[in-house]
Amino acid sequence: MTDKEAYSDEIDLYELILVFKKRIRYIVSVFVLGVVIAALINFFMPNIYKARPGLISSVSI
């Protein structure tokens, strides 16, 4: 029995790299699409500014 047969459930790093190289356009395009959608949502959202009054006391009792 060879090592390949003994560990058939093992993930081969070289095969994983080949899959990533094969799908790199898809991975990058999904990432860029997400960035563009987030930028558009952020650009079209209205700016909301809030102010809260506060009292800062420097006198210790």
Q: Is the confidence at residue 1, as pLDDT, over 90?
A: no
**Which pLDDT tens digit goes with each residue over 20-55?**
999 999 999 999 999 999 999 999 998 888 888 887
As to burial, measured by CB atoms within 10 angstroms (0-12 exposed, 13-18 middle, 19+ buried), residue 50 is exposed
* pTM over cut 0.75: no
Give the range of the structural domain holding residue 15, as residue numbers without chain letter: 1-61
pLDDT recorded at residue 48: 87
Q: Is the confidence at residue 58, as pLDDT, over 70?
A: yes
When divided into structural domains, the chain yields a total of 1
Structure tokens belonging to residue 3: 């090592």
pLDDT recorded at residue 9: 75
Note whether 45 and 39 are within 8 A (CB): no
**Measured between alpha carbons, how far is 33 from 26 in angstroms, rounded to an integer?**
10
Q: Is the confidence at residue 56, as pLDDT, over 90?
A: no
